[in-house]
């Protein structure tokens, strides 16, 4: 990828074309959302069923922008020191001991203020993803599964996302030369606070339609036979409508097609489907239910 300034595309359509060249097929809404996120310098909040390509979008955008992708995986109890920065305490202590040893050897006395200043030197600063994204430009910051973090963390994000800067008491303010493109993803396990959503562009991702899913399969698995791609996409579509505990996402569609390729299937029949069902259904109850009605599922 060539190094580009902030926006490689002059319109959503051009951006969609650029994304397509990385293997990510974006529809109108998605391309417009990503385009606006760059133009308006706003975070993009992607919500949708698992497996609809939220995380992949951030990866594709980073590729299009020729930017580094910096990922922050959120979890329960994540806090600022895991997201922003931390001090390298062991090295600070060693440094302190080294100063003391040097001072006692030469017989001079240490000045507490200058010792402290030398301890909070940027070289002892451990940059965590958000700080790293502010220091790196261009960069794409992916804040993944923000719905797993708790309310306090969301409040903390608000500040970073609007200011594009963080202040570290001992060092001062770190401001991004060029704000990173921020993509937040959520699986809706919990309602994210409206204050956070208000600062973002809101993109709801649905499962792709049949044609697009076939295209995705071809772009991800270049050697896939035409007929197998259409059969897999069609079968997954039916699976999504059949009231499963975990309806398959696009990632599962790709997995399934790849599994079928690996077992050497030229087309999808009851035997090959039964052998590879584990790639697409992730619950025993679902697999049991579908296994007995495979022939109706595959009849097109």
Partner 1 sequence: MGPTVTPQPTDPLPGLVGFTVVLRNAGLAVTTDRVAAFLSALDALDVTDRAQTYWAGRLTLCSDPDDLPRYDQAFAGWFEPGRGGRTQVRDERPPPPPRLAALTPEDSGSGDEGSDSPQIHAKASGTEILRHRDLGELTPAEREHLRRLMALLRPEMPQRVSRRLRPSKHGGTDPGRTLRAALRNHGELRELRRRDRSRRSRRVVLLLDVSGSMEPYADSLLRFAHVMVRRAPGAVEAFTLGTRLTRVTRELRMRDPERALAAAAKAIPDWSGGTRLGEVLRAFVDRWGQRGAARRAVIVVFSDGWERGETDVLREQMSRLSRLAHRVVWVNPHVGKDGYAPVQGGIVAALPFLDDLLAGHSLATLERLLEVVRDA
Which residues contact partner 1 by CB under 8 A? 11-12, 28-29, 32-33, 35-36, 39-40, 42, 47, 75-77, 79, 87, 89-90, 92-93, 96-97, 99-100, 110, 112, 115-116, 119, 147-148, 150-151, 187-191, 194, 197-198, 201-204, 245-246
Least separation in angstroms between residue 21's CB and partner 1 is 22
Q: Which is closer to partner 1, CB of 56 or CB of 80?
A: 80
Q: To the nearest whole angstrom, how small is the minimum distance from the Cβ of residue 254 to partner 1?
A: 22
How far apart (Å, rounded) are the C-alpha atoms in residues 170 and 167? Answer: 9
Answer whether the bond into residue 49 is a cis peptide, omega within 30°: no
Q: Which one, 81 or 293, has the nearer CB to partner 1?
A: 81
Q: How far is the CB of 192 from partner 1 (least distance, A)?
A: 9
Dihedral sign computed on CA atoms, order 272, 275, 277, 280: negative
Give the residue with the Cβ less far from partner 1, 87 or 237: 87
CA–CA separation, 27 and 92 (whole Å): 51
CB atoms within 10 A of CB 117: 11
Of 28 and 269, which has the nearer Cβ to partner 1? 28
Shortest Å distance, C-beta 60 to partner 1: 18
Give the nearer residue to partner 1 in terms of CB position, either 15 or 224.
15
Question: What is the bridge-based pairing of β-strands 139-144 and 181-186?
Answer: parallel
Strand ranges, E, within the chain = 44-48, 68-73, 85-87, 125-127, 139-144, 165-168, 172-175, 181-186, 201-205
């Amino acid at each position: 990828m060539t190094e580009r300034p902030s926006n490689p595309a002059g319109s959503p359509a051009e951006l969609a074309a650029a994304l397509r060249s990385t293997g990510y097929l974006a529809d109108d809404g998605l391309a417009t959302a990503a385009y606006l996120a760059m133009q308006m310098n706003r975070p993009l909040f992607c919500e949708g069923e698992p497996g609809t390509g939220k995380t992949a979008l951030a990866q594709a955008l980073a590729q299009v922008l020729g930017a580094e992708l910096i990922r922050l995986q959120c979890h329960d109890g994540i806090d600022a020191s895991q997201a922003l920065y931390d001090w390298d305490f062991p090295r600070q202590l060693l440094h302190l001991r080294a100063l003391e040893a040097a001072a006692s050897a030469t017989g001079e006395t240490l000045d507490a203020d200058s010792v402290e200043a030398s301890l909070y030197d940027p070289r002892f600063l451990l940059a965590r993803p958000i700080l790293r994204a502010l220091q790196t430009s261009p960069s794409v910051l992916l804040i993944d599964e923000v719905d797993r973090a708790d309310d306090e963390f969301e409040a903390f994000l608000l500040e970073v996302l609007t200011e594009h800067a963080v202040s570290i008491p001992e060092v001062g303010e770190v401001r991004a030369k060029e704000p990173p493109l921020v993509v937040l993803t959520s699986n809706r396990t919990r309602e994210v606070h409206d204050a956070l959503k208000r600062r973002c562009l809101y993109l709801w991702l649905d499962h792709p339609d049949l044609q697009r899913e076939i295209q995705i399969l071809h772009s991800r698995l270049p050697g896939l036979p035409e007929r197998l791609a259409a059969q897999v996409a069609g079968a997954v579509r039916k699976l999504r409508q059949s009231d499963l505990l975990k309806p398959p996402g696009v990632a599962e569609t790709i997995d399934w097609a790849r599994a079928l390729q690996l077992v050497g299937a030229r087309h999808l029949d009851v035997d090959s489907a039964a052998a590879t069902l584990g790639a697409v259904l992730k619950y025993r109850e679902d697999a049991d239910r579908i296994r007995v009605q495979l022939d109706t599922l595959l009849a097109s």
